[in-house]
Amino acid sequence: MSTFLFDKTIFGPVVSRRLGISLGINLLPNDSKLCSFDCIYCECGWNPEKGSVNAKFPKQIEVKSLLRAKLIEMAQANKTPDVITFAGNGEPTLHPNFAGIIDDTIALRDELCPAARIAVLSNSTMLHKIKVVEALKKVDDNILKLDSGIAQTITLLDQPVGRFNLENCVTNLTQFEGNQIIQTMFLRGLFKGTKIDNTTDVEVSAWITLLKEIRPKSVMIYTLDRDTPAKELQKVSLDDLNNIAHRVRQSTGLEVQVSG
């Protein structure tokens, strides 16, 4: 299996390792990736060369119409989703009408599948925008990336597009006052000849220190499950993930969900 793009605005439902039966919403273009990170492990592959594509976001009214139709279809089949998940071909909070789309989605959920949760998978780079933060506070599962407690490692793993400041990122993550889930990818390997391993004692200790500062309601840790654009990466064992989870629970008292 190679890396892939989501070719629809509403996709699935799919079975998620972390979320259950998930109906996906892709707020990015259907024919290209658009992200403020260029993670070396991203299932959607690398970002396109700057200027090589003319990225077009789906319109807010289109997202609402497509989502309504899909939720009605699923309700008629008695197969409503466990969760409606904003994910797709990059960073969903880049959509200029992200906040409005969240409001539309909450209204449709309440009308058509009130038991479903709403989740957003975000890389935490747009948290300096007030409207983005206010929208994320409204969703059930506000899932925010923090792949390391060391800035150099984040730069290596996540390949930020433009400037990235870890201290500012952590400050932004604290403004949710516990209404957030921190999600972290653990892996090992090589990238352009540089060794990568964010499971070491030094790495995990630095990451836990930031978790104590952020105080999320829970933590999700996982490892590689699909092909990656960088080819010399290795999956972390379930035993290693469980050991990291144990350290978090012992040090912080936080709930940890492990996906091997």
| Tens digit of each residue's pLDDT (9 = 90 or more) over 19-34 | 788 999 999 999 899 9
Look at residue 7 in the predicted model and tell me its pLDDT. 86
pLDDT attached to residue 5: 85
> pLDDT digits over 103-136, tens only?
999 999 999 999 999 999 999 999 999 999 999 9
pLDDT of residue 249: 98
Higher-confidence position of 244 and 19 = 244
Mean pLDDT for the stretch of residues 158-173: 96
CB within 8 A of 139, min separation 6: which ones?
Answer: 102, 106, 118, 119, 120
Separation CA 130–CA 141 (nearest Å): 18
Place of tokens 């892709």: 26
Q: Rounded to whole angstroms, what are the CA distances from 2 to 6, 46, 145, 219, 227?
A: 13, 12, 23, 28, 6
Bridge partners, residue 145, by sequence: 183
pLDDT of residue 1: 43
Q: In whole angstroms, give the CA distance from residue 244 to residue 249.
A: 9
Are 97 and 17 in contact by the 8 Å Cβ rule? The answer is no
Written as one letter, the residue type at 45 is G
Q: Which residues pair with 220 in a beta bridge?
A: 183, 257
pLDDT higher for 52 or 210?
Answer: 210
The average pLDDT across 219-248 equals 96
User: What pLDDT score does 121 carry?
Assistant: 97
Categorise residue 123: left if φ over 0, alpha if ψ from -120 to 50, beta otherwise: alpha
CB hemisphere CA count around 253 (13 angstroms): 2
- Select from 27, 107, 122 the least CA-distant residue to 68: 107
Identify the H or E element spanning 241.
helix 238-252
What's the pLDDT tens digit per position in 67-103? 999 999 999 999 999 999 999 999 999 999 999 999 9
The mean predicted confidence, pLDDT, of the chain is: 94
pLDDT in tens, 40-73: 999 999 999 876 667 799 999 999 999 999 999 9
Query: What are the CA-CA distances from residue 78 to residues 40, 81, 112, 157, 213 (Å)?
Result: 39, 10, 11, 41, 43
What's the pLDDT at 52? 60
Domains belonging to the chain, first-starting first, are: 10-184 (3.20.20.70)
Res 18 pLDDT > 70: no
Q: What residue type is 200 in one-letter code?
A: T
CB 109 within 8 A of CB 118: yes
The pTM for the full model equals: 0.94
Q: What is the DSSP letter of 224?
A: -
45: left (phi over 0), alpha (psi -120 to 50) or beta: left
| Three-class SS state of 141 | strand
